[in-house]
C-alpha cells in the first residue's frame, strides 16, 4: 500500500473511531502521525492515541485498553501529559 493510500485509510479509521477512543480513560487526543520506538520517530504512519500517562494494560479496565491495531491500522499510544489551553 502506498503512503497516500495508507494515509487515506488511517484518516477513515480516525473519523469512524475517534469518539470511541476519546471515551476511554486517560485518552486526551487522537491523531495521525509516526510511530515512536525508544523515544525516536519511525517512518511508519499510524493512528496516534495520546494519553496523559502510559500505564500497564493490567491496570486498566478491559474497555479502556487500546489495541495495537484498529480496523487494520497500526496504533501507537504516546504519553503527552495533561493538555492545557493557554
The whole-number pLDDT of residue 39 equals 85
32 strand-pairing partners: 47
Q: What's the CA gap between 47 and 45, in Å, rounded? A: 7
The whole-number pLDDT of residue 60 equals 92
Phi-psi region of 4 (alpha: psi -120 to 50; beta: other; left: phi over 0): alpha
- Which residue ranges make up each domain of the chain? 3-79
The residue among 8 and 57 whose pLDDT is bigger is 8
pTM: 0.90
pLDDT tens digits for 13-26?
999 999 999 999 99
pLDDT tens digits for 42-76?
999 999 999 999 999 899 999 999 999 999 999 99
Domain 3-79: CATH class, spelled out: alpha beta
| Rg of the chain (C-alpha set) | 13
Q: In this structure, are residues 33 and 61 in contact, taking their beta carbons and an 8 Å threshold? A: no
Amino acid at each position: 500500500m502506498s503512503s497516500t493510500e495508507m494515509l487515506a485509510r488511517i484518516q477513515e479509521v480516525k473519523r469512524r473511531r475517534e469518539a470511541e477512543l476519546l471515551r476511554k480513560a486517560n485518552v486526551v487526543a487522537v491523531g495521525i502521525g509516526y510511530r515512536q520506538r525508544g523515544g525516536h520517530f519511525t517512518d511508519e504512519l499510524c493512528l496516534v492515541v495520546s494519553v496523559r500517562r502510559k500505564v500497564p494494560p493490567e491496570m486498566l479496565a478491559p474497555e479502556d485498553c487500546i489495541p495495537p491495531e484498529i480496523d487494520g491500522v497500526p496504533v501507537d499510544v504516546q504519553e503527552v501529559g495533561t493538555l492545557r489551553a493557554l
